[in-house]
A and B are shown apart, each in its own frame.
Chain A
Amino acid sequence: MIQISHVSKNYGSFDVLKDCSTTVSKGEVIVVCGPSGSGKSTLIKCVNGLEPFQSGEIIVNGTSVGDPKTNLSKLRAHVGMVFQNFELFPHMSITQNLAIAQVKVLGRQQDEAIDKGLKLLDRVGLKAHAHKFPGQLSGGQQQRVAIARALAMDPICMLFDEPTSALDPEMVNEVLDVMTELAQEGMTMMCVTHEMGFAKRVANRVIFMDHGRIVEDDSKEAFFANPRSERAQQFLAKILHH
């Protein structure tokens, strides 16, 4: 589904990504972790072309992301993305947030889009909030709406960039529960997160990044039982103790 091969990216003399390669097969859930500034967000944004990269290749569902001839909007319409800061559109009601891209990008009818959006809103347990605006919801609720908004586009895979990092601790689980359910239904997912409980529950593989490199790319069993690199060991020790 997603093939990342030898991707490198720099900002001037600073290498953000160094020769990163990995693949995500259909139905797989990959967790990406690593210290802050290690390039996790950059890597995941390269997958849907939000960040350009200088060398290497990324193929998503048969389409090369780096190819200048690729219609990125078309590709992104079917690659869901969830951000750390939710990024709902504050001036639109929850219903409009869910419907607008379906209408403007996929060309669906307004009522069809609203129907679909409300069904997904129900699924994330927020049906009663349809008429509200993002600013009137808690962070956890906003993030669940953001997931529903991405799902409304019938994505072939979902990218998550630290979806729970901006949340108060008591709201983390409501978002992780939605993600877990999604994973169990067979959604292909690439998740940047430090929630190791989530990784243990649903991940197929765990990728550990450090200084722009993919240092570990292991099945979760191997990763948690015995991380090979010292950096990953230190990192795990640190976050598992917290």
Chain B
Amino acid sequence: MSDPKLKVRIATCSLAGCFGCHMSVLDIDERLLGLLELIEFDRTPLTDIKHCGPCDVGIVEGGVCNAENVHVLKEFRKNCKVLVAIGACAITGGIPAMRNNIDLWDCFQEVYQYEGGLEGGQVPNDPELPLPFDKVHPINEVVKVDYFLPGCPPSGDAIWRFLTDLLNGREPKLDYEMLHYD
């Protein structure tokens, strides 16, 4: 990160999340343009890069709810110097973790068989589908996480503060009103 000509390379992904945190990144608004002078993207939902390569910063939205999430998360950890958990789901499991005390099969039946307006009532069982876990977990229960940025989602201002602190080599610090869990 020391060479000023080199841009900071950032990868992002959404695991068991709703993309709300990614949407909140867009709330940085026109400051995003200035930010793009300093950073470049590796794998993100905005680029078509399928696998995370060597990066300075990895930003992960969402918790871990299936086997594929674990593979993606481990790839991020392996390739990113700094790994950031963004949003309630990555940090606590969040809304998806509300299923943690419901039997997984009961969940499937409710969604695919009992719910009205369904044809066939089949629980999807394609071998290509990732294996779901019985519980959703925050990402720090699977890999080491360097920074946490809570919120559901964190505000654009909080994300902006966090990123500019990080890019300027400061320890990220949120103002009181930027720190919230909802």
A binds B: no
